[in-house]
Chains A and B, each alone.
Chain A
Amino acid sequence: MKNQNKIIGALDIGTSKIIVLIAEISNGTDLNILGMGEASTHGVNKGDIVDMEATSNCVYAAINTVEKSAGTSFEKLYMSLTGGHIRGFYNKGIVGVSSPDNIIVEEDVKRATESARVKELRPDRVYIHHILNGYKLDGKNIEFPLGKEGEQLEASYLHITSDEKKLADQIHILNWMHYTVDDVILSSLASGCTLVTELEKINGSLVIDIGAGITDYVLYLNGKIAKTGVIKVGGNHITSDLGMALRINTQRAEEIKCQYNKLADDENLENRHLWLYGDRSIGDRPVQVNAIDQIIEARLDELFNIIKNELGTSFKPNETVTKITLTGGTSRQAGITNIAKNVFEMDVSLGEIPNWVQKELRHPEYSTVLGILLFALKYQKNDIVSKKKKSRFKILSRLFSSSK
């Protein structure tokens, strides 16, 4: 089985773009990207599918392109999931060590894990991930409980849940095209997978993925996922704000946003201006770049403040967190790192996609879809999946963490 090559697909349905990657996994460890397909999205609002028909057509177009360009079709498909309906909560499983000599055996770990994961959800919610957040033996944090001596073992899990209907919508779209979805991955975790190394996770790292419709963030502390969430603000909000302030339509607002980004490359913005319509028609007039700057800054400043607020006390600049990474399409916005820097009171950098990825894919908007591939690869490697079904959509619940 190990020598078998597998063709897998990764699908990311974003608010503005649908991206599909097709890749080959050889020997169970090597990943080779064969092709990429893109299509602009219709029928998705702030990460939620609102028009299944329209979205389905876009997904079909993207998959069609990728399969043609790669000359093959995939056997397994993984997709990302995001949206305002994602929730996370902590749950602990506490068991007494069973053996008379108080040495922890596999059975104890299993029982602790099980009891942490048995929590019943409301009928409209389903589990997406169970993320191990560490063990405690008699109240002390330990990394590997097996073989240790103690009386009481505690397994702590971060559970990510999703609205059943929203998840079903996504899966249905693929089912219509006779593809089966093998697994869904939370977008923020996928981006984190691409951009943050294991060491950076241990040192504390925050990844913020700002898309067109929404923003995902994930915080790693001590190598574990401590917090993840979704804020329903994205690049479209900047466009909307500009459109309202300047009283121009969405298309022109988008253009102004891009023109501003180009302008902002030359550092001196004082007294510069942009033409309102750009076509010298009646009513066209110069607009101060400063004003555009203010509008965009206010929006992004607020977004980062909301994230900072959500992270709460677990976030301490340069103490618990040593690296903040921005990614996603909107992270191309000029001056965004400075705005983030002011809010988080520490250095903020744009995410760098590792070198093994082809050059044309090293753009911030691809970090999620690349992450899905990495995730799938890891999934292939760790063949320790507990195949316990949690929903009728073949979503496999499993451990997602480096530690077994």
Chain B
Amino acid sequence: MIANNSNIPDDNNESVNPDKNIESELLNLNCEIKIPEVDEDLKDLEINNESEISPKLKIKIIGIGNAGNNIINQFAAEKLDGITLSAVNTDFRAIENSKADECLLIGKTITKGLDAGGDIEVARNAVESDIDSINQMVANTDLLFLISGLGGGTGSGATPIIAKKAVEHNALVICFAIIPYSFEGIRRQQQARESLAELRSNCHAVIPIPGDILFQQSNESSSVTNSFLLADNWIASGIKAIHSMIFKNGIKNVEFNDLRNIFKNKSGKTLFGIGQGAGENYIKKAIENLFLCPLLHTTETCNCIDRLIVNITGGPNIGMNEVKEVMDAIFEKYSKDIEIIYGAYIEEGMNDKIELFIFGSNNVEGPVNSNKSKTIVYNENTNSKKIVFPIKSKSKGKSKRTYKRKNKIKKVDNQIEFLFSESEQRGLFEDDKERNLYKDVDLDVPTYLRRSIKLTL
């Protein structure tokens, strides 16, 4: 037996069990795990928990690839208790600078500590070569957040595999995927789309964050970092909202099982939105802000939802009336048929301020054959006092009303409309497989449309 990793605090040595030895052996063999002293208590907790079933949930955030690692570094400053931050990368430099609690350098034998160079295959091989460490990392986790930027190498290649492993270990896997800007070229977009499809078949929920939206949100003068910060903020608020739902005691709690229930299907598309309001009429402002959240209006968002979590965080003056107002607006926007679970929390210093967060899924299966036979059994041991009143949706699926609404939303969304009409604009040549391109302009589309000539017919 190989001796324990010296980084593990001494006081745990007395409770050595065979499992742990194997664990540390693996650590030594395959990965470099550095555990900063700061998180001793956390580590302590985790190791103790192995013997007995813990009342406490284990939440982990893994940032994969450079984009993921950067966001993890942002999180390190936030200090959310009960969450372990991990970083996975093929690039040694990024790992070295990482502020995560645990770091894993994958594919040392393949990339020699350099990045994957945008090659998905390299990234996949890298993960496969260190698959034991990955198993180690995702084992004994209840809720796992994956953060990665798609379109490159490591993020696109490694994330789906890690997600798959985590699901095999019974974790609830929620993935935030940043889609590259369209100006980064078609190849990257294509690569990102492929990985997204793969992720959808592996994760319980995938929240794509298109770079183009970040671009639209930031004004012309704002710097690149600002626009990236926006992505970080969205992810951070999402994770924080889920975190406070599960850990904080509020007026109305959401349990982890409810979250599990929402994402019981490995759904194709998810809905994810954040809204804030402050000052006068802050409830109304927050609702408006929520419905205008750009993440609700991407092509990747599902607008026909069947199940929804609503989380309300407000000041001490928030009452049932305010909660009702929010809920009414959400029922109005989506269908009354959907299954809604809501939570309301009070946070100090949120006077005349409110934060809304919605997170939903539908019954439509993911795009690829997700192995549905594998149902997740969660050990229901938490002393939950359930006061949820889920309004069960009829198994018929979506009602006509939701369809109508879907169309309405489509109209608002310029992106969908544009894509939709592009193929219809080709008239006689609609069936042609190849587009008749000349200097990136499709000549089959009528000239008067492209030159936007106003006709009086």
- Contact (Cβ within 8 A) A298 B453: yes
- Contact (Cβ within 8 A) A291 B446: no
- Contact (Cβ within 8 A) A294 B457: no
B46-54, B267-275, B426-434 - the one binding chain A: B426-434
- Kindly identify which residue among A236, A239, A287, A298 contacts B447, using a CB–CB cutoff of 8 Å: A298
Q: List the B side residues contacting A302 at CB < 8 Å.
A: 443, 447, 451
Inter-chain CA distance A32–B89, complex, in Å, is 79
| Nearest CB of B to A272, in Å | 13
B183 interfacial contact with A, CB 8 Å:
no
A window 257-297: CB within 8 A of B: 287-288, 290-291, 294-295
Contact status of A291 and B455, CB under 8 A, knowing A237-B444, A240-B444: yes
Q: Which residue from chain B places its CB closest to the CB of A299 in the assembled complex?
A: B447
A233 interfacial contact with B, CB 8 Å:
yes
How many residue pairs link A and B with beta carbons under 8 A? The number is 67
Interface string of A213-234 (1 = CB under 8 A from B): 0000000000000000001110
- Contact (Cβ within 8 A) B456 A295: no
- Contact (Cβ within 8 A) A299 B453: no
A347 interfacial contact with B, CB 8 Å:
no
- Contact (Cβ within 8 A) B443 A244: no
Contact status of A241 and B427, CB under 8 A, knowing A232-B436, A294-B448, A299-B446: yes
Q: List the B side residues contacting A301 at CB < 8 Å.
A: 447
Q: List the A side residues contacting B426 at CB < 8 Å.
A: 240
- Contact (Cβ within 8 A) A290 B451: no
Q: List the B side residues contacting A45 at CB < 8 Å.
A: 432
Inter-chain CA distance A250–B447, complex, in Å, is 17
Inter-chain CA distance A246–B448, complex, in Å, is 12
Interface of A is mostly: helix
Q: List the A side residues contacting B418 at CB < 8 Å.
A: none
B24 interfacial contact with A, CB 8 Å:
no
- Contact (Cβ within 8 A) B436 A246: no
- Kindly identify which residue among A231, A250, A295 contacts B446, using a CB–CB cutoff of 8 Å: A295
B window 336-389: CB within 8 A of A: none
- Contact (Cβ within 8 A) A291 B444: no
For chain A, give the interface size range.
20 to 34
Q: List the A side residues contacting B125 at CB < 8 Å.
A: none
- Contact (Cβ within 8 A) A245 B448: yes
B438 interfacial contact with A, CB 8 Å:
yes
Report which residue of B426, B436, B446 has the largest number of chain A beta carbons within 10 angstroms of its beta carbon: B446
| Nearest CB of A to B425, in Å | 7
Q: Which residue from chain A places its CB closest to the CB of B448 in the assembled complex?
A: A298
Q: List the A side residues contacting B443 at CB < 8 Å.
A: 231-233, 237, 302
- Contact (Cβ within 8 A) B428 A240: yes
| Nearest CB of A to B306, in Å | 37
| Nearest CB of A to B446, in Å | 4
- Contact (Cβ within 8 A) B453 A250: no
- Kindly identify which residue among A243, A245, A290, A306 contacts B428, using a CB–CB cutoff of 8 Å: A243
| Nearest CB of B to A238, in Å | 9
Q: Which residue from chain A places its CB closest to the CB of B424 in the assembled complex?
A: A244
- Contact (Cβ within 8 A) A241 B447: yes
| Nearest CB of B to A94, in Å | 34
Q: Which residue from chain A places its CB closest to the CB of B447 in the assembled complex?
A: A298
28 A-B pairs within 8 Å (CB atoms) are namely A45-B432, A46-B432, A231-B438, A232-B438, A232-B443, A236-B429, A237-B428, A237-B443, A237-B444, A240-B426, A240-B427, A240-B429, A240-B446, A241-B446, A241-B448, A243-B427, A243-B428, A246-B457, A291-B455, A291-B457, A294-B448, A294-B453, A295-B448, A295-B453, A298-B446, A298-B451, A299-B447, A306-B438
Chain A residues within 8 Å of B, Cβ to Cβ: 45-46, 231-233, 236-237, 239-241, 243-246, 250, 287-288, 290-291, 294-295, 298-299, 301-302, 306
Top-9 shortest CB links A-B: A240-B427, A240-B428, A241-B446, A298-B447, A244-B427, A291-B455, A298-B448, A299-B447, A302-B447
